[in-house]
Structure 1
Amino acid sequence: MNSPWQPDGSAMAVRGLEAIDTATAWFIYYKVSAANLPEVVAEVARFQAALCSADAALVARLMRRPAESAGVCTLMETYAWVSHPAMAMEGAAHLSRPEPVLPEAIVRAAAGLAPWLLGPRHVEAFVPCA
């Protein structure tokens, strides 16, 4: 999966061109048992790769809290859309830009996580400041 962000949080070049944030970014967090973490990570990697393959502008990541609590891990999926001039020239396919509802493709892709979830998936949306 591609990531246009540097460790300090600033944007960096994507495919050699400046990345431009174009839409709502989504942050989805939830809890899973630490014992199930390898299976959950594999499932999320699988569906995020499929989503990114379907949309060249989508950047997806999976993160976790650095510490577990009572054998429970908190994971966070992130989704952002970036673009650059080459994408327009290539005629890249895109999922519809989310405004303001989480894209159905992400909801459907994550349905396989249900057996491992310890509660709901919490969804947060953020938009660019300028």
Structure 2
Amino acid sequence: MDFYVYYKVQDAAAADLQAAVIAMQAALAGAHGVAPQLKRRPSGADGAQTWMEVYPGVTPAAFAPALDAAVAQAGLARWIAGPRHVELFEDLPPCA
């Protein structure tokens, strides 16, 4: 499964949040063998940006608690405006 986590960040907090997320994702990559991605929408609105963390190919039962712990340890809540939304997606079998 792939985890997609999206949330808002105020423009003024973006640099601090980026540094914290990159460090957190590096630790998760080392501990869980995942290849995380960090993305944002190309344009913001009202001084806020929408960001997305992607964690491909993880096992939800094992990774979800690790991600929650990493987010808490990194203190991401201080820079995020509102909740983090987590969505899970799975691959479909190929058509051919």
Same fold (TM over 0.5): yes
Instruction: Write the deviation string for residues 13-66 of structure 1: whole angstroms up to 9, x where unpaired.
Output: xxxxxxxxxxx100000001011100000000000000001122x110110000
1:30 matches 2:7? yes
SS state at 1:74 partner: strand
1:105 matches 2:66? yes
SS state at 2:56 partner: strand
Structure 2 residues not aligned, in runs of 5+? none
Q: Which has the higher contact order (CA 8 A, sep 6+)?
A: 2
Counterpart Cα distance in 1 of 2:67 and 2:87: 13
> Any residues of structure 2 matched to 1:1-130 within 5 Å, and which?
24-56=1-33, 58-81=34-57, 97-99=59-61, 103-111=64-72, 112-130=75-93
Counterpart Cα distance in 1 of 2:82 and 2:76: 11
Counterpart Cα distance in 2 of 1:54 and 1:102: 10
SS state at 1:59 partner: coil
Instruction: Write the deviation string for residues 93-130 of structure 1: whole angstroms up to 9, x where unpaired.
Output: xxx7215x861111111121111111100111000101
Under a length normalisation based on structure 1, what TM-score does the superposition of the two structures give?
0.66
CA contact (8 A) 1:26 1:102 kept: no
Counterpart Cα distance in 1 of 2:12 and 2:80: 12
Ranges of 4+ aligned residues in structure 1 off by more than 3 Å: none
Counterpart Cα distance in 2 of 1:110 and 1:74: 17
SS state at 2:45 partner: coil
Report the RMSD for the aligned CA atoms in angstroms: 1.6
Q: How many residues align?
A: 91
Under a length normalisation based on structure 2, what TM-score does the superposition of the two structures give?
0.88
| Paired-residue identity, % | 40
